[in-house]
């Protein structure tokens, strides 16, 4: 943001150690939206933002008029109509279908590997990661104080890793392989283009910043792997954090999405990789959600999914999924179902010919079942809580 800007300024509350904060940070910068960033340890966050949203999770944004928005997808949905240029969604139907699929596929595919590299290499990572967490709450604290805050966060996250993410030593080779395979695909894509769909950053690029910058690009172990095996990907994470659209390496690429609804081969390969890796688990998750939702006949429109206090995005149930012959515990997240619903709504609004184009793309990439998914009960957000629509 320019120091002399007289435009209303937004405030992003987050952390550089945060997976989720990386997404709206790059979005705000590439959009040229005037903003400042603050850590959750600031008084304004504790005294106003957290109380207004009734939620301590980051990222959160405070708008110039005092509105508070929590969650990266909710932030995108609020800001995109207000700041349509440059557009975060490409114009082509096939392009936009792929971008919208990535809204849930990227986290589903790379999220576990991101957690794996952060917490299963703690001896090598923690002197950096622990203090990063600590500085979010006590920016000027001594190392001993930062270590205390870091341990509190680490203990909380470690519980999620085992109970929600199904992380056990038997799964570690799988999570390693997924990360390395993703780097290989994306290194080739970013050799040819600055972004996933050509010369403009899409919503999918911003979602990708969650794992690639929030964890892989900064934590010592995965960052070193990225620099050695995929230096173009590391360079991409750097450029995504600048306000410039044109990168020095790709100055000859037009500042536009590819014409004629073209999707780069590297992006198609990455979409195929995501669908092959977690597509079946997503289909099963929707099936189990539907069974669960039909059993909740006592819940009316507007009722929270969970009766537990402060259970904002409840896990519906869990099941055993298998990827590349490795079984692991898969959680059915109400939040993920809500994000999938947004994609299904977009498909439903298309013309018959547009739907055929989307179905053909999905079939080509091994995800034909995705376009046939239906939700028995729709979800919405009431404040920051998942609820039945």
**pLDDT digit string (tens) for 62-118?**
999 999 999 999 999 999 999 999 999 999 999 999 999 999 999 999 999 999 998
CATH code of domain 10-79: 3.40.30.10
Distance CA 116, CA 175 (A): 7
User: Is 1.20.1050.10 the CATH classification of the domain at 93-261?
Assistant: yes
The pLDDT of residue 251: 95
Distance CA 107, CA 26 (A): 16
Answer yes or no: are the C-beta atoms of 33 and 150 closer than 8 Å.
Answer: no
The pLDDT of residue 212: 98
Low-confidence residues of the chain, pLDDT below 50? 1-4
5 C-beta neighbours (distance < 10 Å), count = 10
The pLDDT of residue 2: 41
Peptide bond into 140 cis (omega under 30): no
The pLDDT of residue 389: 94
Domain boundaries, the chain: 10-79, 93-261, 277-388
Residues 6 or more apart whose Cβ sits within 8 Å of residue 325:
none
The pLDDT of residue 165: 66
CA angle, corner 32, sides to 28 and 33, nearest 5? 60
């Amino acid at each position: 943001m320019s120091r002399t800007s007289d435009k209303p300024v937004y405030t992003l509350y987050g952390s550089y150690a945060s997976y989720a904060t990386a997404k709206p940070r790059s979005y705000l910068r590439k959009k040229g939206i005037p903003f400042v960033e603050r850590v959750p340890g600031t008084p304004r966050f504790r005294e106003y933002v957290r109380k207004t949203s009734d939620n301590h999770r980051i990222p959160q944004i405070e708008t110039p008029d005092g509105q508070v928005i929590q969650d990266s997808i909710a932030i995108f949905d609020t800001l995109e109509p207000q700041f349509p240029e440059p557009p975060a969604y490409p114009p082509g139907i096939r392009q936009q279908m792929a971008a919208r699929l990535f809204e849930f596929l990227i986290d589903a595919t790379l999220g576990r590997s991101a957690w794996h590299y952060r917490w299963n290499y703690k001896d090598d990572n923690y002197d950096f990661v622990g203090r990063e967490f600590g500085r979010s709450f006590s920016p000027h604290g001594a190392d001993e104080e930062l270590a205390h805050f870091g341990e509190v966060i680490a203990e909380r996250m470690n519980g999620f890793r085992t109970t929600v993410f199904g992380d056990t030593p038997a799964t570690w080779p799988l999570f390693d392989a997924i990360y390395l395979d993703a780097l290989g695909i994306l290194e080739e894509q970013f050799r040819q283009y600055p972004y996933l769909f050509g010369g403009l950053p899409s919503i999918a690029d911003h979602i990708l910043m969650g794992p690639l910058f929030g964890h892989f690009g900064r934590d010592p172990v995965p960052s070193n792997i990225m620099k050695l095996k995929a230096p173009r990907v590391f360079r991409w994470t750097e450029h995504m954090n600048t306000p410039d659209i044109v990168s020095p390496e790709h100055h000859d690429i037009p500042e536009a999405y590819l014409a004629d609804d073209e999707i780069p081969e590297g992006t198609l390969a990455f979409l195929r990789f995501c669908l092959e890796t977690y597509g079946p688990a997503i289909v099963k998750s929707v099936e189990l959600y539907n069974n669960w939702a039909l059993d909740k006949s006592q819940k009316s429109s507007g009722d929270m999914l969970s009766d537990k206090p402060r259970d904002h995005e409840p896990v519906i149930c869990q099941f055993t999924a298998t990827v590349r012959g490795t079984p692991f515990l898969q959680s059915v997240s109400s939040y993920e179902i809500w994000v999938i619903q947004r994609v299904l709504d977009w498909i439903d609004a298309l013309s018959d010919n547009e739907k055929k184009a989307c179905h053909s793309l999905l079939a080509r990439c091994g995800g034909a079942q995705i376009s046939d998914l239906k939700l028995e009960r729709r979800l919405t957000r009431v404040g920051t809580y998942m609820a039945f629509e």
